[in-house]
Structure 1
Amino acid sequence: MPLNSKIFAVCAAAMMVSSAFALTPTEKKVEKERISAEYKSAKEQCKALKGNAQDVCELQAKGHEKVALAQLDYKAEANESNRHKLAKTQADTAYDIAKEQCDDRTGNDKDVCKKDAQAAHVKALEVAKMAEVRNDPAAKPSDMANARKDASDKTREADYKAVKERCDALNGDAKDACTTDAKRRFGQ
């Protein structure tokens, strides 16, 4: 996980913890306006950059806005639906930014970068799904077990694809050994 994504996640978690009281409609409107102003300012700063750096900057600005709006919804109404929406927004935003950062690379290195980003995205989404099941008062223990199994299967598949992509950079026997090892490690 890139440093920006880690910082982003820590800030998001800190803001969620600080949301002890619901907002009034007026407070929510003011916060939306502040978020919008921050987005416009951040996007304006991106104009000084060129190429992919500008694209990444703009995605980070837009992602910060999306996450801030999802946090605002959660702060205004702290329910499981808004918590799940926030977690999904954070995962999707981090994934979009990571994919865009891969565009600076070429060849297999770019492909590996994208598979790693996809694997991180799958993991984040599965964690959010498991939390949703765990916090559902109507969920049975078997529901949580099924969610864990599903998350494990999807995460293992995404990790396998990322490792397999790394194997593609190799040739001959080394590639065959790498692919065989990946299949064995990830049960493919």
Structure 2
Amino acid sequence: MNQHHLKTIVLAVSLAFSAGAMAQNMSKADYKAGKDKISAEYKAAKAACDAMSGNAEDICMAEAKGKEKVAKADLEAGYKPTVKAHYNARVAKAEADYAVAKERCDDLAGNAKDVCVKEAKAAQTTAKANAKVQMKTKDANAAARETTSDARSKASDKASEARKDAAEDKSDAGYQVAKEKCDQFSGAAKDQCQAQAKARFGK
């Protein structure tokens, strides 16, 4: 199967799963219909993947499973639009993207593959960290409407802590990528690369 055909199927799967999953304040009947639709679309996507082979099939399956997971999380966020539900939807997207990216790395070998995996993990870490910051910020904004200054202060502190943790997580993930890239070198060149990576990320 050529790349154009694969991309066409992946695009079709993406559009199918995204449709109808974002409605806000839906009825219980609509929610159930949404779940049934997601299930049917996943089965159709899986059947399309079965026509492939090798890593192309693995990528297609990762796409299909990821789209199903994201669609379910979006549906939940539409049915019960809480801050936590929207956070879960963003985490589901991060995990789905990581699963697909990791499968794509299998087309590579050696250090290029290792770097690819680390970059995929760094992207997942960044997306999850951003999702957590957004959730804590929304909590803080909600608390800002509270009558007590103590509640506002605590919520603000949690949001600040989340931003700090996110920055550290992103820095650690970036350092892991930079360090992995150094493995393509040897001797003094590798030592210099690692030293630069440590200096850049404050390690």
Q: What TM-score comes out, normalization by structure 1 length?
A: 0.88
Of 71, 74, 92, 1:89 maps to: 92
Deviates more, 1:109-118 or 1:168-177: 168-177
Is the counterpart of residue 158 in structure 1 residue 161 in structure 2? no
2:3 paired residue number: none
Structure 2: any 5+ residue segments left out of the alignment? Answer: 1-6, 144-153
1:104 paired residue number: 107
2:117 paired residue number: 114
Give 2:34's aligned amino acid.
E
- In the TM superposition, what are the counterparts of 1:13-162 in structure 2 within 5 Å? 19=23, 21-136=24-139, 137-138=142-143, 140-162=155-177
The CA deviation string for residues 41-95 of structure 1, in whole angstroms up to 9 with x for no partner, is: 1110111111111011011001101111111111111111110110110111111
2:190 paired residue number: 175
Aligned residues: 178
Residue 131 of structure 1 and its aligned partner are, at CA, apart by: 0.7
Residue 15 of structure 1 and its aligned partner are, at CA, apart by: 7.4
Structure 1: any 5+ residue segments left out of the alignment? Answer: none
**Inter-CA distance 91–15: structure 2 relative to 1 (3 Å threshold):** farther
Give 1:109's aligned amino acid.
A
Alignment check: 8 A CA contact 1:91 1:121 kept: yes
Give 1:146's aligned amino acid.
E
Give the secondary structure class of the aligned counterpart of 2:184. Answer: coil
Give 2:120's aligned amino acid.
A
Q: What TM-score comes out, normalization by structure 2 length?
A: 0.82
Residue 150 of structure 1 and its aligned partner are, at CA, apart by: 0.7
Tell me the distance in 2 between the aligned counterparts of 1:157 and 1:31. Answer: 39
Q: Percent identity?
A: 40
The CA deviation string for residues 75-133 of structure 1, in whole angstroms up to 9 with x for no partner, is: 11111111011011011111111111111111111100000011001000100110110
Tell me the distance in 1 between the aligned counterparts of 2:59 and 2:127. Answer: 20
Give 1:74's aligned amino acid.
A
> After the TM superposition, which segments of 4 or more aligned residues of structure 1 sit over 6 Å from their partners?
none
Alignment check: 8 A CA contact 2:20 2:34 kept: no
Give the secondary structure class of the aligned counterpart of 1:23. Answer: coil
- In the TM superposition, what are the counterparts of 1:2-17 in structure 2 within 5 Å? none
Q: Which structure: larger Rg?
A: 2
* Coordinate RMSD, CA, aligned: 2.0
Alignment check: 8 A CA contact 1:15 1:71 kept: no
Residue 142 of structure 1 and its aligned partner are, at CA, apart by: 2.1
